[in-house]
Amino acid sequence: MSIEPDPELLGALDAWQHRAVAHQPPWPDAAHLAAVRDRLTTLPPLVFAGEADALRAELAAAGAGEAFVLQGGDCAESFADATADNIRNKIKLLLQMAVVLTYGASMPVVKIGRMAGQYAKPRSAQTETRQTEDRGAVTLPSFYGDCVNSHLFDARSRTPDPERLLDGYHAAASTLNLIRAFTTGGFASLLRVHEWNRGFTRNPAYARYEEIAAEIDRAIRFMAACGVDVESLRTVDLFSSHEALLLDYERPLTRIDSRTGLAYDCSAHFLWIGERTRDPEGAHVDYFAQVRNPLGVKLGPSVTGDDALRLLDRLNPTGEPGRITFITRMGAGTVRDALPALVEKVTADGRPVTWTCDPMHGNTITVNGYKTRRFSDVVDEVAGFFEVHRGLGTVPGGLHVELTGDDVTEVLGGSEQIDADGLARRYETLVDPRLNHQQGLELAFQVVELLRAH
Ligand code: TRP
Ligand code: MN
């Protein structure tokens, strides 16, 4: 028997509409948007509430130091890249990084893709102006992500089109379907640990990976010979996540769980509220306070301890473990100064949070006209994050990174030493620069050292 939804809860789920909703695209046709919302309401949920509950429990373990979170994927996914090859390569890199961390640090790894829904971006400027040859300076709406408009620079492409929200739903559904197939159908089995590395040979990170893979093989053969059931090695749980930005998408995909009568945003297992939309009095915080999913909040260097406590008052008043992950993104030069006071204040409050480090967004620079990051800054911010938490006796619980499984050249440095000129070789991102396959793996090895140092 299913539980009837509580009318008070249904009211609370729509209360955000009375608040300022930051960073929504300038949709030109409200009636069209409303029609699309109605369509989304009728479509099946993409995830099951019970899966979100399982993830919440795993995040609680990470907050307590019993697991480590690996969250990664594109800055912005694109519809054109929702291909089998692209999705497979990204999953492969996440699995390789997870193997390195699980084996190297003897820690369970909670695997979350920035995948299957990361199609919308907040923009600081509503419009973009470019010089054109024939018409001089042209100003058009900014690119808000594939589920709003197209990055192509012409008036038609840049006009926000609500139909794209439906396209986003379908791209997410097919991506998630392939993720489920790969993670449960044999591809992700630890018995295939070597195969994820195939084709990658020259780089030192790949040689180190091969050594670990050989040790894992031996260990599995040993366990099998001893009669241990290795069934749990054949599949993985890879959860989905994206920034909770477009409330006209998230609200229609929120469903009442028939088991409990509670609301879950069934567009993904995990949603995070961005640095630009985390106003405790704003619509985003008001809305996500009503859903049961585990939530992240990005915290940049301007955040105060009191801001963080106000967020907990709204999003996790009772202090449920695993409910809130604070994803700090301070910058390599700032993390050691800005993080301690924040962590101390939250720790003194007593409500548990899971702390993870986003070493990407505080380290963005422009070189030769390319938006990029230095790999050394990324590593340094992670190191600073560990230092601060170790110093305070708190738990550095995970990593949130922008990466792709492909061989792009968007981030400077790494063992292939991508330099300023090298950026031009294969710079493909639509928004922020991502770690490539080799840089992702290299970062995992560095994090193992940090986890072991304790
Ligand atoms: N299921 C286990 C886990 O998720 C073991 C495992 C299977 C695994 N395939 C994996 C671990 C790939 C890391 C990467 O931990
Ligand atoms: Mn980004």
CA of 331 to the centre of ligand 2 (A): 14
- What is residue 200's predicted lDDT score, i.e. its pLDDT? 76
Which residue in this structure is represented by tokens 């059931």?
229
Q: Are 402 and 433 in contact (CB under 8 A)?
A: yes
Q: Which of 94, 233, 238 to mutate to test the pocket of ligand 1 (most atoms within 8 A of CB)?
A: 233
Q: Are 94 and 238 in contact (CB under 8 A)?
A: yes
Closest CA to 23 of 364, 300, 330, 273: 273
d(CA 38, CA 57): 33
CA of 243 to the centre of ligand 1 (A): 25
CA of 430 to the centre of ligand 2 (A): 10
CA nearest ligand 1 atom 4, residue: 236
CA of 373 to the centre of ligand 2 (A): 11
Q: Which atom of ligand 1 is nearest to the CA of 109?
A: 15
- What is residue 277's predicted lDDT score, i.e. its pLDDT? 97
CA of 208 to the centre of ligand 1 (A): 18
Q: What angle do CA 131, 134, 138 make, to 5 degrees?
A: 40
CB < 8 Å & 24+ apart, contacts of 258-263: 258/2, 258/3, 259/2, 259/3, 259/49, 259/50, 260/3, 260/49, 260/292, 261/3, 261/4, 261/5, 261/6, 261/9, 262/9, 262/49, 262/292, 263/9, 263/13, 263/290, 263/291, 263/292
Task: Mark the residues whose beta carbon lies below 5 A from ion ligand 2.
Answer: 75, 432
Q: Which of 236, 237, 239 to mutate to test the pocket of ligand 1 (most atoms within 8 A of CB)?
A: 236
Q: Which amino acid type is present at position 395?
A: V
Torsion-angle region of 261 (φ positive above 0: left; ψ -120 to 50: alpha; else: beta): left
CA nearest ligand 1 atom 7, residue: 233
Pairing relationship of beta strands 238-243 and 109-113 according to DSSP bridges: parallel
Local structure of residue 18 (DSSP, 8 states)? G
d(CA 253, CA 47): 10
Q: Are 110 and 398 in contact (CB under 8 A)?
A: yes
Ligand showing the shortest atom-to-Cα distance for residue 272: 2
Q: Indicate yes or no: pTM above 0.85.
A: yes
CA of 434 to the centre of ligand 2 (A): 8
Q: Which atom of ligand 1 is nearest to the CA of 234?
A: 7
d(CA 89, CA 179): 11
- What is residue 291's predicted lDDT score, i.e. its pLDDT? 98
Ligand showing the shortest atom-to-Cα distance for residue 444: 1
- What is residue 203's predicted lDDT score, i.e. its pLDDT? 80
CA of 410 to the centre of ligand 2 (A): 12
- What is residue 445's predicted lDDT score, i.e. its pLDDT? 95
| Residue ranges in the chain modelled with pLDDT below 50 | none
Local structure of residue 418 (DSSP, 8 states)? B
Q: Which of 100, 101, 110, 190 to mutate to test the pocket of ligand 1 (most atoms within 8 A of CB)?
A: 190
CA nearest ligand 1 atom 5, residue: 233
- What is residue 199's predicted lDDT score, i.e. its pLDDT? 75
**Burial level of 38, CB count in 10 A (0-12/13-18/19+)?**
exposed
CA of 110 to the centre of ligand 1 (A): 10
Ligand 1 residue neighbourhood (C-beta within 6 Å)? 95, 98-99, 102, 108, 188-190, 232-233, 235-236
Backbone angles phi, psi at 99, to 5 degrees: -65, -45
Ligand showing the shortest atom-to-Cα distance for residue 239: 1
Helix intervals (H) in 64-162: 84-105, 155-158
Structure tokens at 36: 């699309």
CA nearest ligand 1 atom 10, residue: 190
Q: Which atom of ligand 1 is nearest to the CA of 95?
A: 14
Helix intervals (H) in 185-321: 204-225, 247-250, 283-288, 305-315
CA of 184 to the centre of ligand 1 (A): 11
